[in-house]
Structure 1
């Protein structure tokens, strides 16, 4: 095939692919910036060509990672970043950035970016409500810290004070907010959630529409720090002018409000609305006694809904759950249980072989209460028929684990890792790419 024909094919693949692609040379000069990457940045083709003509790139978000790779000659894998593009849209990407070599000489760096905005948004969805009101009575938390949270929330409900809930996503803050609504002595007519991660114009329009209603409403502004300072000030004015109504206002933030004020992400005026009371909802890793009640409630509902006989977790799986830190909190736990439940037929207990593959990768190198390290290699031990899986799946898992450990040992240096494994650099990069795409596909199915 002729050189020009191959070049046309490469150009077509780059421009029509689903991944954003950005390539720079060793000086950081932009070489390739494909259509998908322009879409993610919210830049029109005309604007892009105008900037290139003027040599005004201005793509600092991508170039930051690319320049790090040029300096260190080390790949950056699975880097997640969230930003607002030039159209004012919130975008979340997972990027893999690699150094580029020609005849063993560094010539540039390339970034492959996959859009996971929708999947990321799904992770911020509330815990499942099971088509019933979320009252404090149905919250399964048994830890002392969560009992104090609920006691404090009941005080808020009794006094109808505005309150700010502080905690990580997935901790159940939305459940506390709705619990306050249902605990009100004088009941409100509606519970309205304002998702501040969305377009703030929509959030303000929602609030303006409902705040003048004759009905009494409980407003829950989820992650209010995502709104601009201007939007937060508008909310203050709206609430100050609606004193004749008997609304209740609840907001949540992801970290200490004082820190957010210092970083310019939270309005002082808005915070003063909540200065009387703040409720800190701890992460699941700090209240692990709440894990098993949540699991037991989940499987109780599974038995009732599907007629299964599942009772709970086997002892070794219980140890894993109690020793894992659950960075996604209760929401991550719910997603893992959803994956497990799809495999349930006539099992009585959830065995280790039923754990989803994406979760197995996360639990390597945690320690059991007996101080026995549960390593990734345990996944590959075949003890009984239940541990058997298709040979191609098994071999793929072994290869992924082996390469992952090798990269760790050489601190991500692809050249050294490839040399130690006795394969070409390009071959190793292909395997890394295949593994990464597999993980992303698993993540999307999980959502």
Structure 2
């Protein structure tokens, strides 16, 4: 194929790709920006053409990772980036930025951006997948504890004053926050979640952008203790400046506010701003009567959406779920149900062998007590139990470390000695497991 034909093929592939592609030449000028990259940035063809025209005269692409790679000649891979594009949309991408090297000469740099915005959003707000507003009617709550939470939240919605939500990861604080938004006596036009475990400069920029708008907005600062003290004080300053507007401000933290303040993780002034109404969202182990109604609602939606015939859990699995402590709370339960549902074909009831292997390791003591049988640690009985080997080994290692820590009542030095490893190595594994649990 001659050169012109090849160029047309390459152009077609680039434009049709669902990966964002952007490239600059050796002088830093933008030479390629495909449709997906324009979509991610929220810009039009005309805007890109105007930008390119300016660059031809005296403009260069802003100092960025592309420029860094161009100057260093070193690739940057799997770089996670969260930003708000020109349309005000929150975008998260995984980027690979590579130098264009021809016989040792750098001709430019190219960036490949994979859009993971949906996956990232679902990770922090899983119930959003159902395409419904998260109202208090959406929340499955039969326990007295959750009914009290919802009752207090409705009072907060009526008063429109700042609210602080306190609870462990995965308890559903985001659901309560949006429930307040949808119950406001005078509706707000938009609900914006500021996920504070991400880049704090981006979080503050987003708040600064929207807080000055004339429309009424409900702001939810998710886990504000993840922000630095300087960022928290900046947020207090912004909130007080715009306090007279008809916005509604809600924040959440993952632990006792007094302890967080004492440990220098929570600004006292930020806490006081939000503490007019404080709502503690209980862990799932404190309200286990909510487990089965949630499971039943989950499978009801699953039947409606996928035409499944699954009716629910076997008695054995139900007893296991009710006996388990749920350290990841409601989010852990939902992720587990997602994994179970992915295996459902023609089954009417979820049986023990359909539980993921890693979960069976966690509940093996419960299962052994109920069945009065000896259970094996490494359960691989059917094809459904097979997992990627590296994932399987990681889960086995995590389980082994957790059990060892339990034997020594959490004493790191004694556990490390028993496992034949350095104390720092064990602490690294513990940190990794905690970060993975927080993401759940």
- TM bucket (normalised to shorter chain) is 0.5 to 0.7
1:218–1:247 contact (8 Å) kept in structure 2: yes
Instruction: Give, in angstroms, the shift of residue 138 of structure 1.
Output: 1.3
Gapped regions of structure 1 (runs ≥ 5)? 1-43, 45-117, 381-386, 419-424, 426-435
Relative to 1, partners in 2 of residues 1:330 and 1:416: Cα closer, same or farther, differing over 3 Å? closer
Question: Where do residues 27-426 of structure 1 align in structure 2 (5 Å cutoff)?
Answer: 125-129=124-128, 130-366=130-366, 376-377=375-376, 388-389=381-382
Q: State which drifts further: 408-417 or 327-336.
A: 408-417
Q: How many residues align?
A: 298
Relative to 1, partners in 2 of residues 1:212 and 1:410: Cα closer, same or farther, differing over 3 Å? closer
Instruction: Give, in angstroms, the shift of residue 391 of structure 1.
Output: 12
Relative to 1, partners in 2 of residues 1:122 and 1:179: Cα closer, same or farther, differing over 3 Å? closer
2:188–2:218 contact (8 Å) kept in structure 1: yes
2:354–2:384 contact (8 Å) kept in structure 1: no
Gapped regions of structure 2 (runs ≥ 5)? 1-68, 70-116, 409-413, 422-428
Structure 1 runs of 4+ aligned residues shifted over 3 Å read 120-124, 370-376, 390-394, 407-418
User: SS of 2:265's equivalent?
Assistant: coil
1:366–1:373 contact (8 Å) kept in structure 2: no
1:318-347 C-alpha deviation (Å, 9 max, x unpaired): 011001111111111111111111111111
- Looking at structure 2, the residues matched to 414 and 230 of structure 1 have their Cα atoms a distance apart, in angstroms, of 37
Instruction: Give, in angstroms, the shift of residue 243 of structure 1.
Output: 3.2
Tell me the equivalent position of 1:32: none
User: SS of 2:271's equivalent?
Assistant: helix
Tell me the equivalent position of 1:86: none
1:24-43 C-alpha deviation (Å, 9 max, x unpaired): xxxxxxxxxxxxxxxxxxxx
User: SS of 1:239's equivalent?
Assistant: helix
Alignment TM-score, normalising by the size of structure 2: 0.60
- Looking at structure 1, the residues matched to 252 and 372 of structure 2 have their Cα atoms a distance apart, in angstroms, of 38
User: SS of 1:296's equivalent?
Assistant: helix
Instruction: Give, in angstroms, the shift of residue 244 of structure 1.
Output: 3.5
| Aligned residues: CA RMSD | 3.8
2:309–2:347 contact (8 Å) kept in structure 1: yes
Instruction: Give, in angstroms, the shift of residue 416 of structure 1.
Output: 8.6
1:302-331 C-alpha deviation (Å, 9 max, x unpaired): 100111111100000001100111111111
1:35-70 C-alpha deviation (Å, 9 max, x unpaired): xxxxxxxxx9xxxxxxxxxxxxxxxxxxxxxxxxxx
2:343–2:384 contact (8 Å) kept in structure 1: no
1:410–1:417 contact (8 Å) kept in structure 2: no
